[in-house]
Amino acid sequence: MHREILVIDDNPDIRILVSNILKDQNFKVRTAANYDQAVNEINKKLPDLAIIDIKLDKTDKDGIDLLKLITKKTKFTQIIMISGHATVQIAIEAIRLGAYEFIEKPFSKEKILNYVNRALESSQLKKEKDIIENKLFHSFDLVGKSPSILKVKKIIDKLSTSESRVLISGATGTGKELVARKIHKNSLRSKEPFIIINAALLKEKTYEKELFGEEFEDGNISIGALERANKGTLLIDEVSEIPYETQANVLRVLIDQKFKRLNGSKDINVNIRLISSTSKNLKELVEVNKFREDLYHRLNVMPIELSSLSSRTEDIPLLIDYFKEKLSEINGVQQPKIDINNDNFYTYNWPGNVRELRNLVERVTILSSNEAKGDINKLIEDILTPKASIESSRILLEKTLTSPLKEARKNFEKEYLLTQLRKNHGNISKTADFIGMERSALHRKLKELGIKGIN
């Protein structure tokens, strides 16, 4: 497939020269002689690469404005800026705004081709990375046999014929986006767009622009997430981070199913399914007036709560085997020999939850071809017994030594029994056998210490 390049320069000699150089290398070339022609070509079809002269014929708009326009529309089109009169400051600004490279006129055939090939290679790598990341999410399954995961799977199945809004709660790394994708994939909207907006990553002044889009004086428009998700599903990740003032506008869209772009006068009608996710307790935020109660009730039609990995350790062996197979296939290497009975897997707290376990398996998978089994186990042990865990143990010991005997004994028993339960994947009978206690006596002790088991 021929890569397409758009050459934008108001100097016909430069425009023809660059076009001929590129055509000789079998590139497909389109040209534009001024700003308006360039906008028309960009709106018709985005090229793989744009070569843009900074100074154009339109006094109020130049190549930098075209650079901004393209980067708003896509992250895949690479841009090379050219000029014979630009200052160092302009060149730096162009790179800062997303240009791949800046070239001063005059330039040689070899130089322009070198930059063009490198830019297109970079564009291709971006696209491949995006495809791989999408494949990861689309191909990964919700793995586990714990009661909490089986409950989530049942809810997802029930939602397949429903249009209900969903609120997914859970700590970082528990799989909130994966669950949202599964809900969309199983729904009647599965062939329509699935759009994600991460509220935690947006700057305070850009929320409404990202959600609703914007209209500009020159007639250009920026399409927001709501419009891009029309007929499909919109996931607002970390919905708690949306500013309080903006929450009222989101609520209005849910009620009316329409909105106006920023600076726009025309109503945009949308039909979307909204899924929200949060790692914070929205109910608590409502109580302290940091989240609108009316919006909370609109979002929380069907709640799904994802448990931490440390509370469902029986799923860890299944997850390790699953990730080994998937990640070895993706990385093109043999599956690593990971001992799923390694105590560290079940005593570690997993602050990053399933994502942290997946990252660990991927790291071991990549390194395994050059490591012996003993070295792999040592690597796992080093990763899962960090300084933080040692510090936690030190604090527990210090607390025990400075407490009255009765309280110290209670602290020790609680920590000891939690550790043994994790090692035995929450199995009461196995834990009782290991510690030499009757099953009924262990139940009484767990109740006395306020331990509900590992579910």
Tell me the pairing of strands 273-278 and 233-237: parallel
Q: Compute CA distances 436 → 6, 87, 429, whole Å.
A: 76, 79, 10
Q: Mark whether 171 and 35 lie in a shared domain.
A: no
Assess if residue 454 is contained within a domain: no
The overall pTM is greater than 0.75: no
Domain boundary among 367, 384, 401: 384
- Report pLDDT for 410: 72
Nearest 10 degrees: CA dihedral of 7, 12, 14, 16? Answer: 70
- Alpha-carbon gap, residue 163 to 167, rounded angstroms: 13
Residues in Cβ contact with 410 at an 8 Å cutoff, skipping those fewer than 6 apart: 449
For the beta carbon of residue 455, count every other beta carbon within 10 angstroms.
12
Residue 316: is its pLDDT beyond 70? yes
Query: Does residue 156 contact residue 186 with C-beta atoms inside 8 Å?
Result: yes
Domain boundary among 307, 324, 350: 307
Q: Mark whether 288 and 367 lie in a shared domain.
A: no
Assess if residue 196 is contained within a domain: yes
- Report pLDDT for 97: 85
- Report pLDDT for 441: 80
Q: Mark whether 122 and 166 lie in a shared domain.
A: no
Q: Mark whether 62 and 106 lie in a shared domain.
A: yes
Q: Mark whether 364 and 395 lie in a shared domain.
A: no
Residue 366: is its pLDDT beyond 80? no
Amino acid letter for position 368:
S
User: What's the burial of 449, exposed, middle or buried (CB within 10 Å: 0-12/13-18/19+)?
Assistant: middle
Q: Mark whether 168 and 197 lie in a shared domain.
A: yes
Q: Compute CA distances 161 → 138, 187, 336, whole Å.
A: 20, 6, 40
Q: Mark whether 166 and 303 lie in a shared domain.
A: yes
Model confidence pLDDT, tens digit, residues 433-455: 877 788 888 888 888 887 765 54
Q: Mark whether 290 and 321 lie in a shared domain.
A: no
Q: Residues 242-247: what's their mean pLDDT?
A: 92
b/e code 128-166 from CB counts within 10 Å (16+ = b): eeeeeeeeeeeebebbbebeebeebeeebeebeeeeebb
Model confidence pLDDT, tens digit, residues 77-119: 999 999 887 677 788 888 888 898 888 888 889 989 999 998 9
Assess if residue 139 is contained within a domain: no
- Total domains in the chain come to 4
Residues in Cβ contact with 28 at an 8 Å cutoff, skipping those fewer than 6 apart: 2, 3, 4, 5
Using only C-alpha atoms, the chain has a radius of gyration, in whole angstroms, of 28
- Report pLDDT for 369: 60
Q: Mark whether 264 and 169 lie in a shared domain.
A: yes
Model confidence pLDDT, tens digit, residues 129-173: 666 555 554 457 899 999 999 999 999 999 988 999 999 999 999
Q: Mark whether 225 and 370 lie in a shared domain.
A: no
Nearest to 31 by CA among 69, 103, 23: 23
The CATH number given to whatever domain includes residue 111 is 3.40.50.2300
Phi-psi region of 287 (alpha: psi -120 to 50; beta: other; left: phi over 0): alpha
- The DSSP letter of residue 161 is G
Q: Residue 410: give the domain boundaries.
A: 388-449
Assess if residue 140 is contained within a domain: no
Amino acid letter for position 413:
E
- The DSSP letter of residue 89 is H
**DSSP secondary structure string, 225-272?**
HHHHTTTSEEEEETGGGS-HHHHHHHHHHHHHSEEE-BT--SEEE---
Residue 349: is its pLDDT beyond 90? no
**DSSP secondary structure string, 290-330?**
SS-HHHHHHHTTEEEEPPPGGG-GGGHHHHHHHHHHHHHHH
- Alpha-carbon gap, residue 196 to 258, rounded angstroms: 19
